[in-house]
Amino acid sequence: MRKHTFLAMTMLFAIAFGFTNCTVVREGQAGVKRTFGKYSDKTYASGLRMFNPFTSTIVKVSTQTENIEVQVDIPSREGLTIRSEVSILYNIVQKEVPSVLRSIGMNYENTVILPVFRSAVADVTSKYYAKDMHSGNRAEIETAIRDMMMKTTKERGIIVEAVLLKSIQLPKSLAKAIEDKLETEQQAQRMEFELQREKQEAERKRIEAQGISDANKIIAAGLTPEVLQFKSIEAWLTLSQSPNAKVIISNGSLPMVMDALEEGDKLGRSKK
């Protein structure tokens, strides 16, 4: 009796297991059960999920940040065509995954994101000159493309995080013209620097000369007859203390000092 009961339970378990299956929804994914082709409104987070393989399946969609890299020809305001490599960063809103699957399907990149991007990039870049895409305006252009895309994708459950213009290939003639302009600007900046330095040096010399002139004026203003007489007396006192023989000729105010040996030589030559 026990043997028959065990066999019956085993058979029931096998039948039940045959009508069930399981799958793992990983982190960064959202799972949606599809039963007889109809998607459930409920989304499953990460974990082990059971379903009946004969009637249902669980479709898994990534909700992480995804990157689409695309090469595209973009127009400029002056009518040039510029080759650019672009990265589109986006993610699917988890609660909107059932809606995305119903209205768009799994091929949402080619169905929605890329067509919307190509339209937005053409509308935005046609308002800018080609040189702007090589300057600080690049970030402005990227933001404008992203904002225009969001007008369409956000209501579909797709968030465009960023649009990045990674490389800009300008026509050779335009690239050469831009390089020549930059070089000219750099030369002008160098000349301006040299001119500024020369001006500073001239100003330094003027200030130095003015200082010397002012000092001479102060000294000249202080050389009164009394001061000169005092300096003369000081000089005589100093000479009187010198061990060398000196000849002092004076007009009573200022001394004129001559070396005694040199004076003797002059006198000897005159006698000859």
Do 76 and 143 fall within a single domain?
yes
Say if residue 1's pLDDT is above 60. no
* 50-54, 135-139, 150-154: least confidently modelled range: 50-54
Euclidean distance between CA atoms 106 and 34, whole angstroms? 13
**Span 184-191, mean pLDDT?**
80
Closest CA to 121 of 155, 81, 157: 81
Same structural domain, 73 and 143: yes
158-169 and 246-250 strand pairing = unpaired
Asked whether residue 20 carries a pLDDT value surpassing 70, the answer given is no
Q: Give me the chain's average pLDDT, please.
A: 79
Boundaries of domain holding 84:
66-172
pLDDT given at position 261: 47
Residue 54, number of CB atoms within 10 A of its CB = 9
pLDDT of residue 25: 86
Residue 94 is inside which H or E element, if any? Answer: none
Q: Is the pLDDT of residue 221 over 80?
A: no
pLDDT band at 255 (very low <50, low <70, confident <90, very high): low
Please report whether residue 183 resides in a domain: no
pLDDT of res. 97: 93
Specify whether 52 is located in the same domain as 87: no
Is 107 within the bounds of a domain? yes
Provide, rounded to the nearest whole percent, the portion of the chain with pLDDT above 90. Answer: 29
* Cα–Cα distance for residue pair 49/54, rounded to 1 Å: 15
Nearest to 50 by CA among 92, 21, 8, 10: 21
Distance CA 32, CA 245 (A): 121
Instruction: Return the CATH number at 154.
Output: 3.30.479.30
The reply to whether 215 falls in a domain is no
Instruction: Give a yes or no: residue 162 inside a domain.
Output: yes
Q: Do both 42 and 134 map to the same domain?
A: no
If asked whether residues 252 and 236 sit together in one domain, one would say: yes
Please give the pLDDT value at position 10.
62
| Residue 26 contacts residue 56 (beta carbons within 8 Å) | no
For 75-99, the pLDDT digits (tens) are 888 888 888 899 999 999 999 999 9
Provide the strand spans (E) within 8-65: 21-25, 29-35, 38-44, 47-51, 56-62
Contact assessment for residue 33 and residue 67, using Cβ atoms and an 8 Å cutoff: no
Which of 17, 42, 62 is where one domain is finished? Answer: 62
* pLDDT tens-digit readout, 94-141: 999 999 999 999 999 999 999 999 999 999 998 988 778 777 788 899
Q: Do 53 and 75 belong to one domain?
A: no
> Tokens 């020809």 — which residue?
73
Tell which of 13, 30, 62 closes a domain. 62
Confidence bin at 176 (pLDDT 50/70/90): low
